[in-house]
């Protein structure tokens, strides 16, 4: 069975890539040939061990079941870490939805569990007329939401989920990501409330990871729900 889904967040910098890497490794434990796909990225890292490539794309490739070329994993990329529609204008490089779909089809032929990571939130613009969500809708991809547990996350999570459902797409569920080392006492109340209010499967909670070190055995996510 081939599985394919899109992962979005309640905002930018909510831990989509971190969660994606965890899910990719979890899927491999279940015997899937899991691959991460980042159709569009902005920003190149200067870190020595992977210079001049997008860090998110690098990590998705690293945690996939085998290594692919970065062009396969990330067909459209921009140097500056700015919103895609602005980077597109500055670089006079139109974002092609066909190119995004072509890349997805190419990856799909080589794996049976494909995680497609978005950029920013659900309605990130790609141009003055198109949003990332428009492409997801055209591909009829089921969606998973990463919710960064912080002030404002309840509102963002509800709006994101409702928009996905209104787009006639299946919302697979949501993952709570504790992005801060110190968890405020009311954070668990946020999660408790969202479990009821979102009314979609709760895949699990990820605690703050020091230095982003991933210990798969200690992270409990129910990927059988995805």
| Beta-bridge partners for 177 | 148, 206
d(C-alpha 125, C-alpha 114), whole Å: 23
d(C-alpha 170, C-alpha 223), whole Å: 16
Sort strands 113-121 and 143-148 into parallel, antiparallel or unpaired.
Answer: unpaired
Reply yes or no on whether 38 is catalytic: yes
Q: Which two structure tokens, joined as six digits, stand for 155?
A: 């509102």
Of the listed 4, 16, 26, 38, which one is catalytic? 38
The single residue listed with the structure tokens 């709006």 is: 159
Q: Are 137 and 167 in contact, with CB atoms under 8 Å apart?
A: yes
Q: Which residues are catalytic?
A: 38
């Amino acid at each position: 069975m081939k599985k394919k889904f899109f992962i979005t967040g309640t905002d930018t910098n909510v831990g989509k890539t971190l969660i994606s890497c965890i899910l990719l490794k979890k899927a491999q434990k279940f015997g899937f040939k899991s691959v991460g796909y980042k159709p569009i990225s902005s920003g190149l890292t200067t870190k020595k061990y992977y210079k001049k490539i997008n860090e998110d794309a690098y990590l998705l490739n690293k945690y996939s079941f085998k290594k692919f070329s970065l062009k396969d994993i990330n067909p459209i990329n921009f140097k500056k870490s700015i919103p895609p529609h602005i980077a597109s204008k500055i670089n006079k490089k139109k974002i092609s939805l066909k190119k995004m779909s072509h890349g997805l089809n190419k990856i799909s032929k080589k794996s049976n569990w494909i995680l497609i990571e978005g950029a920013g939130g659900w309605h990130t613009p790609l141009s003055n007329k198109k949003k990332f969500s428009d492409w997801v809708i055209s591909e009829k991809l089921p969606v998973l939401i990463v919710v960064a547990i912080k002030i404002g996350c309840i509102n963002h999570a509800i709006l994101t989920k409702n928009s996905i459902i209104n787009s006639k797409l299946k919302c697979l569920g949501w993952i709570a990501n504790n992005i801060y080392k110190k968890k405020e006492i009311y954070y668990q109340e946020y999660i408790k409330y969202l479990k009821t209010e979102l009314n979609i499967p709760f895949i699990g909670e990820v605690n703050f990871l020091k230095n982003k070190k991933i210990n798969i055995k200690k992270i409990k996510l129910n990927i059988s729900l995805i």
